[in-house]
Amino acid sequence: MKNAHYRHARYSCDFLKKLDELYLAQEENPSALLEKFDKHWPQIARGQAWAEKNAHEDLSILALCMEFPNASSFIFEIRRIPTEDYQWVKAGLSASQALGDRENEASFFNRLGNIVSELGQYKKAIKYYEKSLSIYMDIGDKEGTIYPLGNLGMDYRRIGDYEKAINCHQQALTIAHEIGEIHSTRFDLLSLGLIYSDLGEYSRAVEYLEQSLKLTKEMEDTSMEGAILSNLGLIGTNTGLYEDAINFHKQALEIAQITQNKNLEGEALGGLGNAYAELRNFDQALKYYLLALSISRERENKYDEAADLGNIGNIYAELGQQNSALLYMKRALEIFIDLRLTSEIERAKKNIASIYTDTIDTD
């Protein structure tokens, strides 16, 4: 019976790995691959659960437990929700530590950071990335250090520590050039573009984004191309080029829907909402914000959910529907408090206060 369970788990892991490789290579229709994944998901999940439960019995099962999350890194990013991914990666981490596999241990710490970051837990993510970076440095894996450094940069940006964010990305860029991994720099160039956009240095931001876009097209990385287009759209909105912004976001949305990338889809929908809100086309803005909110909840991304709720509240306020505005704004505030994000909490409180002020003035 044990051998039968192992063969099933082994087959499930290999099947998942093949799907993941095909999805990354973009050699087959993404929708067809994801349909195959959905169809076989119950069997795959049972295989992983058996390996995790019985990992202590045999080294081959322990190794298989470590293989499952590695076999699913791309498909899981697109299809499964973060809490499911977290369980698999935690099991893989435990297996790698038991086997003394330091390279996989570093990789799993980095992935755990990605997962909790997507859930809005940026300070927790930073701790995971620091563990990953420390291990890569201990084992002398320069290429490996690029990934946690880049991720640290992204989450330092998210908590508003731009100096540390820039420093991390510059370190990653330096290492990438030293070892000849030029195409990997597209991630750090993208992030630097976002940082300078946050700082209001839009010309510099566009320079970094365009460098990233060039490398991304060379790599034929469609999903990342969509992410860069979406961010160019955000800059268009911030600089008053609303029609350009809408065009960028619609291109990104098309890519997201073709590749079934829910994260990118949510970003593009939110960006379209922003652009239409600036054009004071509130009906269109509300439509896109509500669609973005649905995606955020589906992916259990609490930060994006709160941002979408706040945006919807702002639209209802513009439409003179104060009760609806307060309902959405208060829910956004609750989430930001749970996430302990000080600047977002203060902004949400100010928005709520302004609604009460407008109501008193109206009375």
- What ranges do the domains of the chain cover? 1-100, 103-220, 301-363
Residues 6+ apart with CB under 8 A from 239: 202
pLDDT-derived band of residue 23, with 50, 70 and 90 as boundaries?
A: confident
Element (H, E) at 345: helix 342-362
Q: Evaluate whether the domain defined by 103-220 bears CATH number 1.25.40.10.
A: yes
pLDDT > 80? residue 360:
no
Just give the CATH number of 301-363.
Answer: 1.25.40
3-state DSSP helix/strand/coil % of the chain, to nearest 5: 85, 0, 15
The confidence score (pLDDT) of residue 340 equals 86
8 A C-beta contact, residue 94 and residue 311: no
Residues 6+ apart with CB under 8 A from 74: 20, 23, 24
Residue 72: how many other CB atoms lie within 10 Å? 25
pLDDT-derived band of residue 184, with 50, 70 and 90 as boundaries?
A: confident
Question: Would you give the distance in Å from CA 42 to the centre of its chain?
Answer: 25
Please name the residue that has the structure tokens 């790698």. 96
Please name the residue that has the structure tokens 């409180």. 349
Q: Which of 50-54, 224-228, 236-240, 353-357 has the lowest mean pLDDT?
A: 353-357
302-315 as b/e, with b when 16 or more CB fall inside 10 Å?
bbbbbbbbbbbbbb
Write down the mean pLDDT value for the chain. Answer: 92
The confidence score (pLDDT) of residue 80 equals 59
Q: Identical fold at 103-220 and 301-363?
A: yes
